[in-house]
Amino acid sequence: ISNSLNNFQYTVWTEFTPLAIKHQAINLGQGFPNFQCPQFVKNALAEAANSNENQYCRPAGVPMLVEEIARVYGAKHNRKIDPMTEVAVCYGASEALLNATMSILNPGDEVIVVDPSFDIYIPQICISGGIPIRVSLVPPNDDVSSWTIDFDKLEAAFTTKTKLFLFNTPNNPIGKVYTKEELEKIGRILEKWPNVGIIADEVYEHVIFDKRVHMSLADVGNLWERSLTLSSAGKLFSVTGWKTGWAVGGPDMIKNMVVSKLWSSFCSNTVCQGAVARSLRIADQEFEGYSNYYEWICKQYEDKRERMKHILYNSNVIKVQPLLAEGGFFLVGKIMNDGDFIPKQYREGATLDFAFCRWLTVEHKITAIPCSVFFSESNSHFGTNFVRFALCKEFSDYDKVEKILIRN
């Protein structure tokens, strides 16, 4: 294996998804919805296939889809977005991220990443020749506060070597939704470094709890031109296997990203793009008694967060305190009592979070994800007390989890 991949042979998904299957566990681990996507989304795929949208397409995305994205995100960002120069469609937000880092970084360029961070960021930065500089959020001490940024530390991370700032709201795993004040403070730091590019990963933008508001970093000050804001139809329409995502942002950033796309896959799959374009049109219409699809899907996640919080607060099998989840697909909990309820054999040679997740899968048939994987090695102590439960599963799965974790 190449030197650039040698350090990245392990992923938490390739440990815990097979482990969940092996033990027939309820998989609250990997963040893919296990419920059916809406019928209108399936119909849209059939319609696209029947319309013979089955051949290669324009590298930056099929016209029908980039036009829909420009419409939807033009309204969100309150600006006119040019579908032909300010939108790029990729194989999921994952490929958008890689195309972006490949198109921005030269060997030795530094990338500031706010931890906890989705585990794909660091390998992608390194494969692209960059050096990750990781700044950790600080965990709250209670169950009602958000994780906080140490702005002095963040500011101190910027140097003349910094080429890129990579940022995620709502955050995977902790569900932090950055406030306007926080984004403006970050924006003020970025304004001091005009040559730094910005990737804002906002794939969970549509899952915002308790009437909070999602705000994009790109909309702060004058950051649009040097930013790429990413999102994903996989997350929005519960079709993660379609691997259809996109970036919107400044024309130069998009143009360079598409050059990288030319030499990786040339273009993404046409038929899924046609389906997503049609689905975006329908999503604005009334759905299941809600005024649109967005309201409905958000409510599903909010209800599941309430279910999961209830289970954790009332469990007499595990002692895990749910933290505040302000949005996104996950609820993070803090392992209490130093995990004294986890048998010794699981504790030996493992951090607390890994011990908990292996034990819970094997002995209780429920899979969660250890949070230390979302931190740098030197900051992993911030993660080892925390575990992540997915909210993107069937309601009946939470019924089953409740039966296991709350014993009469």
> Is there binding between residue 30 and ligand GLN (CB under 6 A)?
yes
Candidates 8-16, 130-138, 237-245, 354-362: pick the segment binding ligand PMP (CB under 6 A). Answer: 237-245
User: Rounded to whole angstroms, how far apart are CA atoms 254 and 86?
Assistant: 6
Closest CB 245 distance from ligand GLN, rounded Å: 11
Q: How far is the CB of 369 from ligand GLN (least distance, A)?
A: 7
Q: Which does 232 bind (CB under 5 to 8 A by kind): ligand PMP, ligand GLN, none?
A: ligand PMP
Amino acid code (one letter) for 395: F
The site for ligand PMP, by CB under 6 A, has a size of: 14
Query: Rounded to the nearest 10 degrees, how much is the dihedral formed by the CA atoms of 378, 384, 386, 387?
Result: 110
Region class of 221: left (phi > 0), else alpha (psi between -120 and 50), else beta: left
Q: Which does 168 bind (CB under 5 to 8 A by kind): ligand GLN, ligand PMP, none?
A: ligand PMP
Q: Binding of ligand GLN at residue 13 (CB under 6 A)?
A: yes
Q: Mask 90-129, x = binds ligand GLN (CB under 6 A)?
A: ----------------------------------------
φ and ψ at residue 198, rounded to 5 degrees: -130, 130
* Distance between CA atoms of residues 382 and 371, nearest Å: 9
13 binds, among ligand PMP, ligand GLN, none (CB under 5 to 8 A by kind): ligand GLN
Cβ distance to ligand PMP smaller for residue 98 or 253: 98
Of 283, 213, 250, 256, residue with least CA distance to 71: 283
Give CA–CA dist 377/370, Å, rounded.
Answer: 14
Contacts 24+ apart (CB under 8 A), 342-351: 351/380, 351/384
Q: Give the per-residue contact string, 162-201, with ligand GLN (x = CB under 6 A; - = no).
A: ----------x-----------------------------
> How far from 125 is each of 131, 133, 139, 249, 379, CA to CA, in Å?
7, 10, 25, 20, 18
Binding mask 60-99 for ligand PMP (x = CB under 6 A): --------------------------------xxx-----
Reported as type and span, the H/E element at residue 123 is: helix 121-127
Least Cβ distance, residue 211 to ligand GLN (angstroms): 25
Q: Should residue 33 be labelled a site residue for ligand GLN when binding is judged by CB under 6 A?
A: no
Q: How far is the CB of 28 from ligand GLN (least distance, A)?
A: 10
Q: Contacts with ligand GLN in 345-384 (CB under 6 A)?
A: none
DSSP bridge partners of 195: none
Q: What is the DSSP string of 257-303?
A: HHHHHHTTTSS--HHHHHHHHHHHHHTTS-BTTBSSHHHHHHHHHHH
Residue 249 or 339 having the CB closest to ligand PMP: 249
Query: Rounded distance, CA 337 to CA 340, Å?
Result: 6
Q: Which of 110, 182, 201, 302 binds ligand PMP (CB under 6 A)?
A: 201
CA angle 161/217/73 to nearest 5° reads 125
30 binds, among ligand PMP, ligand GLN, none (CB under 5 to 8 A by kind): ligand GLN
How distant is the alpha carbon of residue 68 from its chain centre? 22
CB of 387 to ligand GLN, least distance (A): 13
Minimum CB–partner distance for residue 354 and ligand GLN (Å):
16
Which one-letter amino acid corresponds to residue 156? A
Under the criterion CB under 6 A, does residue 398 sit at the interface with ligand PMP? no
From candidates 83, 245, 249, 383, binder to ligand PMP by CB under 6 A: 245
Binding region for ligand GLN (CB under 6 A): 13, 30-31, 172
Binding region for ligand PMP (CB under 6 A): 31, 92-94, 118, 168, 172, 201, 203, 232, 234, 240, 243, 245
